[in-house]
Structure 1
Amino acid sequence: MQGGRMMNILANIALKNLGVDIEDEQQKESWKIENDSQADWALDKIREAKAEFRRFEMVVNDKIAQLQEALAAEKEKMEREVGFFSGKLAEYFETVPHKKTKTQETYALPSGKLIKKYKQPKIERDEEKLIAWLEQNGMTELVKIEKRADWATLKKDTVIDGERVISKTTGEAIPGVVAIPQNPEFTVEV
């Protein structure tokens, strides 16, 4: 919505000052900046458009911050309420007969279920100690070895020829490596 308004403002300025309608594709294609004065005017228009966007962005970000504050307050209220009633239901759950399985206990009610799940223990591993133990006990088949190319070092020994990446050492195109050409990027600094 804001981008459309911004384009309308710029279109009116361009039509008024340069006699070009930037909404008209034919005029947009045929119009050209012909001197430093027009180029400088265009830079001013870019600067103004960016300043207007930054102002609009600041207003939107302030509104977002207000809404996020309101949402956080409501979330905190909901979490307190859910925590209170969940605690009371957990107390009640312990006083009623419920179904038990190996992994959980349940108690069904018309509006939902009360469930107590048994979790598997969380396993933390020290890979170095674990690998050393596996190797000491002859279980090397359980040790994974990951092979990776050292691209950072290899890259220093390459030259690009079109889409091919050539090794300076061997003179061969390196299989599995492709150079994808990129278009140059034109930027305007204001």
Structure 2
Amino acid sequence: MDLRLSDVFLPVEETEQEGFRVDDDLKADWCLDKIREANAEYNRFEMVVNAKIEQLQQALKKAQEKRDREVGFFEGKLREYFETVKAKETKTQKSYSLPSGKLVLKYQQPEFKRDEDTLLNWVENNKPQFIKIKKSVDWSNLKKNVKVVNDLIIDSQTGEIIEGVTIEEREPKFVVEVE
């Protein structure tokens, strides 16, 4: 068992008592050591879990590939069979019913592949009514021209109150940096 001076100086059980206080540099440094150890233990645990997740994902991927091959094989055979039977036909599809399911061939609408720049140029010149314009506030530049007075946002040039912005004060954030 590896016994350290900090463990003798301040046993772990004492840290769990509400009466524990950091009142000198030695105790503060001990706390930083404990934080470092907790982070290292978590990182080790995380590595093991991530390795296990990777292993399980690989197993799942193999199972999925096997399923896809099997389903693809049987769907191909069913498609061949579908071509030999008299299926019910509507404007949008052909279908053939069986006790365990239905074989369906759906007619699809064509897919429109667009070159947005070329299309936008054409629409601007020929059909401008089909142009969408999205407006948004440039907050980073507007913020440079405002000041806060009594929880109000004021335009620093005109003195007007700017509507649509509220201020929410936040507590300072305490950060412990472990080296």
Shorter chain as denominator, the TM-score bin is 0.7 to 0.9
Q: 1:177 aligns with which of 126, 145, 165?
A: 165
Q: Partner of 2:11 in structure 1? A: 17
Q: C-alpha deviations, 1:149-169, integer Å up to 9, x for none?
A: 222321221233464322222
Indicate which of 54, 57, 67 corresponds to 1:65: 54
Q: Which AA in structure 1 matches 2:20?
A: W
Percentage identity across paired residues of the two chains: 52
Is the contact made by 1:98 and 1:107 (CA closer than 8 Å) also made in structure 2? Answer: yes
Aligned mates of 2:42, 2:148 — CA distance in 1: 41
Alignment pair present for 1:43 and 2:32: yes
How many angstroms does 1:32 deviate by? 1.7
1:121-136 equivalence runs, <5 A: 121-127=110-116, 129-130=118-119, 133-134=122-123, 136=125
Classify 1:38/1:97 alpha carbon distance in 2 versus 1 (closer, same or farther; 3 Å). same
For normalisation by structure 2, the TM-score amounts to 0.82
Q: Which moved more, 1:109-118 or 1:165-174?
A: 165-174
Letter in 1 for 2:153: V
> How far apart are the structure 2 equivalents of 1:33 and 1:21?
10
Unaligned runs of 5+ in 2: 1-6
Cα shift readout 1:81-110 (whole Å, capped 9, x = no counterpart): 111111111111011010111111111111
Show CA shifts across 1:28-56 (max 9, x none).
2x432111111111111111111111111
Shift of 1:121: 1.2
Aligned AA (1:164): L
Would the aligned equivalents of 1:105 and 1:115 in 2 still touch at CA under 8 Å? yes
Task: Provide the TM-score with structure 1 as the length reference.
Answer: 0.78
SS in 2 for 1:108: strand
